[in-house]
Amino acid sequence: MEILELKRMANQIRQNIITMLVPAKSGHPGGSLSAADILAVLYFQEMKIKPEDPQWADRDRFVLAKGHAAPVLYAALAEKGFFPKEELLGLRQTGRMLQGHPDMRKVPGVDMSTGSLGQGLSAANGMALAGKLDNKNYRVYALLGDGEMAEGQVWEAAMAAAHYKLDNVTAILDLNGLQIDGATENVMNIDPIDEKWRAFGWHVISVDGHDIEALLAAFAEAKSTKGKPTILIAHTIKGKGVSFMEDQADWHGSAPSAEQGEKALQELREEVASLD
Amino acid sequence: MTKQATRDAYGKALVALGAENKDIVVLDADLSKSTKTAEFAKNYPERFFNMGIAEANLMGTAAGLAAAGKIPFASTFAIFATGRAFEQIRNSIAYPKLNVKIAATHSGVSVGEDGGSHQAVEDIAIMRAMPNMTVLVPADGEETKQAIYAAAKYDGPVYIRMGRLGVPLLFDENYKFEIGKANVVREGEDCTIFANGLMVAEAMEAAKELEEEGIKVAVVNVASVKPLDRETIISYAKKTKAVVTAEEHNIIGGLGSAVAEVLSEEAPTPIVRIGIKDTFGESGRPLELLEKYGLTKEDVKAGVKAVIKKK
């Protein structure tokens, strides 16, 4: 996809997030909106996937370690054609497919069930080890949250990925600076986060997580980095794209009302119009 | 009687299985010499992953390998597998029903000298309460081998509980283990002992000695704690009208609880549960600890006599 199309897709993903969260009446808009550009690049440029064959053995894999951002994943999967967009309106509702956190047994295109923070990177590593054993050249992507950096298992997995030289793993850290209880630096300071990953043996790339071109370049650099895993430290804004949600911890885990949703969609429609 | 620890049988079975099936991979957490996965590591180094002392990551990595088509055997001590990594097993393995085999050794007080911190007495309860999980507790080397093969063949998460201590070889290759099936290893009319793990040998000895006293006891090996062979349990309870359970586990939540749950609903029967009486273990020689914690043939015999009086 062209850069402009990817920007439009990121906007469409954001609109989908709002559209599905309003009827759900609960869910996580902030950390979904912050990752919309990253998922647009992954699902519409970077990853080799076949929506018509979600279990394709040679596909690239994606693990949403920060599983509460399920809306951004569902939005991207629906746009890509893994399931009908109407399903988005059933988010979090009894008997429907789209669970509050990703469920690989229910949703086509979800490669790993996640939601309990700290566990996603381990699973991504396992997929990457299997890929190497089978001499397959698929890549595995994992999107982690910055609040999640406090989980010990993340660092067990970080150590193991470097130990096993998993250069087919690319992690992306959605560094939006906020978690439920407030600013990450106040809840549990993770800095210097780039030095930590470097010390654990990773190739570290710092990138603006809302700059499509920069993201494309970073993923290309990750792909050409051999002998070690790569992490993109993606500097993002929580709630990105909706003015009243931006940089507000309170929008971590509460859904917009119908009125707020309409206001958010209006802003996003104006944004996409301004792209042309 | 020839003895073999179930962990030793596991190590051998893994090597044989690894030769037959290239999708078998093994993970360990710096305990491969103790869990006996070291032999697999030697034979198939490219399919063995030492994850270091990091059980949470071990389980999560196993989940990812399974999601990509491998059949991982994740090994460590029972306490660390089910305790430290409980929630990784729950959310990364059982919830998505991934094809991971959690092969845990060093269960129960028969771990011995390492003491209570290393003796899992609640692992079966934890694993049994988890949806999608199959729970197997083999009694000897032959049954362990067959349980490992059955687990590899079955598509889904399995917990296999094994021990450190050498235990009598009870069965030969004519024995047939099946997930979900209990095995009647001795017939009798007066009482049924449902046992698993190292308590099967004790139960068989107890039954032999009780026969000399004129008490005829059936022994049923319930290696498959989940799924449980309800049919066999109900029919033997109805037939003998008195039941003893025997396991090297807390009397809360293990085989005794599983049998009591079925019988209280389907066929209320007098029951005595032999097991660890809701306490942690301690350091000591394995056989001395088994005696101290009430896990010998003498305890089983006393249980049988007590339950027959309740008839």
Residue B151 Cα, gap to closest chain A Cα (Å) = 20
Which of B64, B70, B87 lies nearest to residue A125, judging by beta carbons?
Answer: B64
pLDDT digits (tens, 9 = 90+) for B121-170: 999 999 999 999 999 999 999 999 999 999 999 999 999 999 999 999 99
On whether residue B173 sits in a domain, the answer given is no
For A165, counting Cβ atoms within 10 Å of its Cβ (0-12 exposed, 13-18 middle, 19+ buried), the class is: middle
Q: Are residues B164 and B188 in the same domain?
A: no
Interface membership of B92 toward A (CB under 8 Å): yes
| Domain annotation covers residue B124 | yes
Helix (H, G, I), strand (E, B) or coil at B102: strand
Read off the CATH number of the domain in which B70 is found.
Answer: 3.40.50.970
Chain B hits for A113, CB-CB cut-off 8 Å, are 91-92, 95-96
Give the dihedral of Cα atoms A197, A198, A204, A206; nearest 10 deg: 80
Q: Which residues of B touch A133 (CB under 8 A)?
A: 25, 46-47, 70
Same domain, B157 and B222: no
Q: Do residue B150 and residue B204 come from a single domain?
A: no
CATH of the domain at A167: 3.40.50.970
Both B38 and B124 in one domain: the answer is: yes
Mean of pLDDT values over A258-270 = 98
Contact A113 B91 (CB under 8 A): yes
Q: What CATH code is carried by the domain that includes residue B240?
A: 3.40.50.920
d(CA B124, CA B252) in angstroms, rounded, equals 10
Task: Write out pLDDT tens, residues A104-130.
Answer: 999 999 999 999 999 999 999 999 999
Domain that holds residue B16: 3-168
Q: Is residue B46 within 8 angstroms of chain A, CB to CB?
A: yes
- Amino acid identity of residue A76, one-letter, is A
Residue B136 covered by a domain: yes
Please indicate if any CB of chain B lies within 8 Å of the CB of A226. Answer: no
DSSP secondary structure string, B112-153? -TT-GGG-BSSHHHHHHTSTT-EEE---SHHHHHHHHHHHHH
Rounded to a whole number of angstroms, the CA Rg of chain B reads 18
Q: B273 burial class (0-12, 13-18, 19+ CB within 10 angstroms)?
A: buried
Both B19 and B147 in one domain: the answer is yes
Check A122 against B70: CB less than 8 A apart.
Answer: no
- Residue ending a domain, among B136, B168, B200, is B168
Helices within B68-220 (DSSP H only) = 78-79, 86-88, 123-128, 141-153, 199-212
Would you call A159 and B54 a contact, using CB atoms and an 8 Å cutoff? yes
Inside any domain, residue B206: yes
Which pLDDT score, from 0 to 100, does residue A276 have? 78
Interchain CB contact of A104 with B (< 8 Å): yes
| Of A173, A124, A180, A177, residue with least CA distance to A145 | A173
- Cβ neighbours of B97 in A, within 8 Å: 105
**Chain A CB within 8 Å of residue B49 CB:** yes
Mutate one of A99, A134, A136, A156 to test the B interface: name it (highest B CB count within 10 A). A156
- Write the CB contacts of B242 (distance below 8 Å, at least 6 apart in sequence): B190, B191, B192, B269, B270, B271, B304, B307, B308, B310, B311
Indicate the residue among B144, B168, B192 that finishes a domain.
B168
Do B40 and B105 have their domain in common?
yes
Mean pLDDT of B209-222: 98
Task: For residue A113, give the nearest of A126, A121, A104, A100 by alpha carbon.
Answer: A104
Mean pLDDT on A54-66? 98
Q: Provide the strand spans (E) within chain A.
A: 61-64, 140-145, 169-175, 178-179, 182-183, 203-208, 230-235
| B144 and B30 share one domain | yes
Q: Which of A262, A263, A245 is nearest to A254 (CA)?
A: A245
B160 in the same domain as B188: no
Q: Closest approach of chain B CAs to the CA of A169, in angstroms?
A: 12
| Subunit contact B64:A126, Cβ cutoff 8 A | yes
Question: What is the tens place of the pLDDT at every residue in B284-302?
Answer: 999 999 999 999 999 999 9
Q: Is residue B257 within 8 angstroms of chain A, CB to CB?
A: no
CA B201 – CA B203 distance, rounded (Å): 5
Record: contact A129-B97, CB cut-off 8 A: no
Please tell me the total count of domains within chain A.
Answer: 1
Residues B97 and B156 in one domain: yes
Amino acid present at A270: E
In A111-130, the residues whose Cβ lies within 8 Å of chain B are 111-113, 115-116, 118-130
State phi, psi for B196 to the nearest 5 degrees. -150, 175
Give A-chain residues touching B54 at CB under 8 angstroms: 153, 156, 159-160
Number of domains in chain B: 2
**Segments forming the whole domain that contains residue A57:** 3-275
Q: Are residues B159 and B205 in the same domain?
A: no
Give the confidence band of B242 by pLDDT, cuts at 50, 70, 90: very high
A116 vs B contacts (CB less than 8 Å): 87, 91-92
- Single-letter amino acid, residue B55: E
Tell whether B119 is covered by a domain: yes
Domain contains B177: no
Helix (H) or strand (E) holding B286: helix B286-292
Q: Annotated catalytic sites of B, by residue?
A: 55
Distance in Å, alpha carbon of A106 to nearest chain B alpha carbon: 9
- Amino acid B1: pLDDT: 76
Q: Are residues B218 and B272 in the same domain?
A: yes
Hey, what are A9's tokens?
A: 């897709």
Please name the residue of chain A whose CA is at the shortest distance from the CA of residue B58: A122
Amino acid sitting at position B112: G
Domain end, chosen from B114, B142, B168, is at: B168
- In this prediction, residue A1 has a pLDDT band, given cuts at 50, 70 and 90, of confident
Does the ipTM exceed 0.95?
A: yes
Mind listing the pLDDT tens digit for each residue in A186-202? 999 999 999 999 999 99
A43-49 contacts, C-beta under 8 A, 24 or more apart? A43/A76, A43/A77, A43/A79, A43/A80, A44/A1, A44/A5, A44/A6, A44/A9, A44/A76, A44/A79, A44/A80, A45/A1, A45/A6, A45/A216, A46/A141, A46/A216, A46/A219, A47/A139, A47/A141, A48/A138, A49/A80, A49/A109
Q: Does residue B174 lie within any of the structural domains?
A: no
Average pLDDT over chain A reads: 98
Does residue A38 contact residue A209 with C-beta atoms inside 8 Å? yes
Whether B130 and B192 share a structural domain: no
Nearest to B67 among A112, A121, A157 (CB): A112
Backbone torsions φ then ψ of B135, nearest 5 degrees:
-125, 120
Nearest to A153 among B47, B57, B96 (CB): B57
Percent of chain A residues topping a pLDDT of 70: 100
